[in-house]
Amino acid sequence: MADRSWLRAPRRRSRRSKARTRASSWRSFLMRRRADLFGSGISMKSKGYGGSVNPEVEVFETADGSMTLVDVARGVHYRSRHGAVQESRHVFVEGSGLVGRTGTWRVLELGFGAAVNLVETVRAFREREAATRLVYHTVDWRPVGPEALTFHDGEGGELARAVALKTQGSAGEAARVVSDDGRIEVVLHAMAWEEVVLEPGEQVDAIYHDPFAKEVNPQAWTPTCFAWSRAWAAPHARLTTYSAATAVRKAMEEAGWVVWRAKGPGRKREMTVATLQDAAVELPGLKRWGQG
């Protein structure tokens, strides 16, 4: 079995106060590792995709004590400041219905970002004995480097850093990593969603629609984008997102999704779930949008 110990983050001593130290020791470690892999002289500021540079990010502690990233220049947070893990679990891991599934879990995520959803999905998968395989496709046109993901512990964190590092060696392509036991496969498509094509016939059980808000990523909230994800959805699939905006829900409907309202995470009143099932069917915990 390949030695992957170098991917492990230094042992955590405490939370935020240690984040900077970890990042800097990781940075120098990765500098050395990259020199081994790709030759010396490679800058830590990797080239972005689509002609732009990857964002400068900092680790940010959210209200539930969990971490996310903040894009320093734009002041944009990658997960809710009210609770990164709380939002991830409620909206995506549980909201998608994945946690109740047996057998294989297949996910398509728009927005690898700070990898909180990936890490929480891996955690939920390992906790569910009846789940046998996890295939996690994640899309990001400006993926952060592995040095930004040192705040994640455990297997999910290792997979996130491994796939982020691999992507940087193959700009604009899909990078794939597999867990030691072969049950988890993560594919990071380092490109805009329009360019992502899955294997013919491949269908997913859950779509995590998780770009930044419409003001920042307008092209990711259009009917065309929701039609793109619908093309990869299994008949029973659920798309979930933190947004409850009317314009977003209309765009989903235009793309052929059946739209539902659900309770949002924490104090947030609503979020959105979309399905391909018969609109007349009742789904526990969900209210059909547009039906009062």
Ligand X SMILES: C[S@@+](CC[C@H](N)C(=O)[O-])C[C@H]1O[C@@H](n2cnc3c(N)ncnc32)[C@H](O)[C@@H]1O
Q: CB nearest ligand X: which residue?
A: 113
CB environment 222-237: b (16+ within 10 A), e (fewer): bbebbebbbebbeeeb
Cα dist from 284 to 141, 231, 262, 275, 281, whole Å: 35, 25, 10, 13, 10
Does residue 220 bind ligand X (CB under 6 A)?
A: yes
Token digits for 71? 């894009």
Determine which residue in the list 97, 111, 156, 264 makes contact with ligand X, applying CB under 6 A: 111
| CA 96 – CA 237 distance, rounded (Å) | 8
- For residues 145-161, one letter each, b for 16 or more C-beta atoms within 10 angstroms of the residue's C-beta and e for the rest, the string is bbbbbbbbeebbbbbbb
Determine, following the binding rule CB under 6 A, whether residue 224 of this chain makes contact with ligand X.
no
Residue among 116 and 251 whose Cβ is closer to ligand X: 116
* Among 158, 196, 198, residue whose Cα is nearest residue 178: 158
Q: According to the binding rule CB under 6 A, does residue 209 interact with ligand X? A: no
Give the total of residues touching ligand X (CB under 6 A).
23
At its nearest, how many Å lie between ligand X and the CB of residue 74?
A: 11
33 binds ligand X (CB under 6 A): no
Determine, following the binding rule CB under 6 A, whether residue 90 of this chain makes contact with ligand X: no
Q: Which is nearer to ligand X, 103 or 154 (CB)?
A: 154
Q: Does 136 bind ligand X (CB under 6 A)?
A: no
User: Is residue 222 close enough to count as binding ligand X by CB under 6 A?
Assistant: no
Q: Does 255 bind ligand X (CB under 6 A)?
A: no
Q: Which stretch binds ligand X (CB under 6 A): 169-177, 204-212, 245-253, 276-284?
A: 204-212
Q: How far apart are CA 10 and CA 151, in angstroms?
A: 10
Q: Does 217 bind ligand X (CB under 6 A)?
A: yes
212 binds ligand X (CB under 6 A): yes
Give the strand pairing for 103-110 and 204-209.
parallel
User: Which is closer to ligand X, CB of 140 or CB of 147?
Assistant: 140
Is 146 a binder of ligand X (CB under 6 A)?
no
Of 18-26, 38-46, 108-116, 266-274, which segment contacts ligand X by CB under 6 A? 108-116
As a 3-state breakdown, the chain gives helix, strand, coil percent values, each rounded to 5, of 30, 25, 45
Residue 61 burial by Cβ neighbours in a 10 Å radius (0-12, 13-18, 19+): middle
What residues make contact with ligand X under the rule CB under 6 A?
A: 78-79, 88, 109, 111-117, 139-142, 192-193, 210-212, 217, 219-220
